Amino acid sequence: MAKLKLSPTRSNLSLMRERLKLAREGHQLLDKKRDVLIIEILRLIDDAERIQRQVDAQFVKAYQVMQEARAAMGTERVRRLALSRPQEVDVEITPRSIMGVVVPSVRYAVPERRMSYGFGDTSVLLDQVQEQWSIVLSQMGQLSEKVTTVWRLAIELRRTQRRVNALEHIFIPSYEETVDYIRDMLEEKD
């Protein structure tokens, strides 16, 4: 490591010792932050995988019910009824912080179910399709929150790891070498 170019004085020795102390404290804090981020990422990955399995299973159910409705009522009729739904889903994304990383918190509200079609010319399967797709929608909100959070925490973990490595392999050894150099030079003068 290259030592810093400083004249060997007691004030510079004191300054370098202080910088070394701060670098070591920063290294400890960043090391702890890295550990917390890793634990949080692993927990969120487990949650995301669990939700992903639920979403996959729910998609299968929803598509199955929709195929039954299409078989009973006809594809064109189901499509027209699906497009006639004027309802919107309210999605609220609020930021929150985990270890200084801003991550989303997704909340959604499906409006109350109002029938936009008559009972006489439709099948009960259409109600089931609507119910199954509402479940898929709610699970997709949860999944998107978890996946986005994992990605943002992973990016912060990479940044933190780079900082830890820089302190560990560049700054701390450089400060140590400079402190040793100044101390040796001062001892020679004495």
What confidence tens digit (pLDDT) does each residue in 98-157 have? 888 899 888 877 666 555 555 556 667 777 887 888 888 888 888 999 999 999 999 999
Residue in this structure with the two tokens 């997704």, named with its chain if needed: 106
What pLDDT score was predicted for residue 112?
65
With beta carbons less than 8 A apart as the criterion, state whether 23 and 175 touch. Answer: yes
- Per DSSP, the three-state class of 120 is coil
Instruction: With a cut of 80, say whether residue 68 has pLDDT above it.
Output: yes
Across the chain, mean pLDDT equals 86
Flag whether pLDDT at 8 surpasses 60.
yes
pLDDT of residue 78: 76
Question: Alpha-carbon distance 91 to 121, whole Å?
Answer: 32
pLDDT level of residue 71 (50, 70, 90 thresholds)? confident
Within 13 Å and on the Cβ side, how many CA atoms surround 131? Answer: 8
189 or 80: which leads in pLDDT: 189
pLDDT in tens, 19-33: 999 999 999 999 999
Do 180 and 7 meet the contact criterion of CB atoms below 8 Å apart?
no
